[in-house]
Amino acid sequence: MPTKRTRLTTEIKKKFSDMACELSPENLCCDGEASQANVKDRFEKIMTRWHGLEDQIGMKVNDEIINQWEEEKSTETICCDLCGHEYDRHIGDECPNCGNNNHDLFVEKFGD
Ligand SMILES: [Zn+2]
């Protein structure tokens, strides 16, 4: 059976971003109240989810990549699937240059 890969969607990017947040020392240690065993246990659980998601999308993800995603998202532009024209997402699904409907791209980049 061929490996079925999940497309890298905004939702998956958000999951990684959330996990990266959970992995921050402040969150893991609960301001020093959690025991070391507890912290280790939680760390391992998050990493298991992290690697599971990596397998799903077929790529390795690290902090640097997550930062890149955040930057991409903040550019707020859509690059037309058909003609490559870049335009402001607020214009909508339709490319002002060629009229192509980029709805799928839109959802992939910005979510529903
Ligand atoms: Zn276009």
Residues around ion ligand 1, judged by CB within 5 A, are 80, 82-83, 85, 95, 97-98, 100
Res 5 pLDDT > 80? no
Instruction: Categorize the per-residue pLDDT at 19 as very low, low, confident or very high, splitting at 50, 70 and 90.
Output: very high
Q: What is the mean pLDDT of residues 106-111?
A: 82
19 Cβ neighbours under 8 A, 6+ residues apart: 46, 49, 50
Res 66 pLDDT > 60? yes
- Mean residue pLDDT of the chain comes to 87
86 Cβ neighbours under 8 A, 6+ residues apart: 77, 78, 79, 80
Centre of ligand 1 to C-alpha 22, Å, is 39
Res 3 pLDDT > 70? no
pLDDT tens digits along 68-87: 888 877 677 888 989 988 88
Centre of ligand 1 to C-alpha 85, Å, is 5
